[in-house]
Structure 1
């Protein structure tokens, strides 16, 4: 069972067919305070100093997404990347969405340290 943010970071995505119930989704959302659920999707906006740093984050997240085989929708502008997760096959949110959101947070944190 995923109980902490560290558990999310250590977990790997697996095929999911069933969405989480609202209570479990709310419990996992509490582990990721910068994220929100909007229209049934897990959403966060990441802000950067410039386009180069934005694209570096996008490329790093693409690499993580490929390794996890769980891909977000991303909207990219000069200094912002909005990331949205949901699991299409489950028609809602699964633990995979929260796992990848935690990994996106970790990438962002690393980018802030490197800046």
Structure 2
């Protein structure tokens, strides 16, 4: 059975205090297949979103903040007038964790509403 973004959306982030190793290249490859439009770069996954105006951009950023608070996993966000770039990495392990992919999938759901 192929995993999908829906599988990630149903999960909750788990606390990560650096007591686990970062994901392996094979694990990252499999999880990247579940996300659409995300890029893997070094120890980061990132995606850019475009909007019609600043209000829509900021509404999206506020929704990301809500998800981040709820999951207790926070991205780096770069905001412009009609665009937003989101980057995830797990700083505690100096690499990627499943939490990064869970949050990425949840954010994509917001954008597609």
The alignment's TM-score, normalised by the length of structure 1, stands at: 0.91
Is 1:46 paired with 2:49?
A: yes
Query: Over the residues paired in the alignment, what is the CA RMSD in angstroms?
Result: 1.2
Deviation per residue, 1:41-74 (Å, 9 max, x gap): 0000000000000000000010000000000000
1:11 alignment partner, SS class: coil
Distance 1:67 1:93 in 2: 19
1:65 equivalent in structure 2: 68
Cα deviation for residue 108 of structure 1 reads: 0.5
Is 1:105 paired with 2:108?
A: yes
Cα deviation for residue 39 of structure 1 reads: 2.7
Distance 1:19 1:4 in 2: 21
Gaps of 5+ in 2: none
Is 1:81 paired with 2:84?
A: yes
Distance 1:3 1:18 in 2: 22
Distance 2:28 2:80 in 1: 29
Cα deviation for residue 33 of structure 1 reads: 2.2
1:36 equivalent in structure 2: 39
| Runs of 4+ that moved beyond 4 A | none
1:4 equivalent in structure 2: 4
Greater shift in the superposed pair: 58-67 or 33-42: 33-42
Distance 1:8 1:42 in 2: 15
The alignment's TM-score, normalised by the length of structure 2, stands at: 0.93
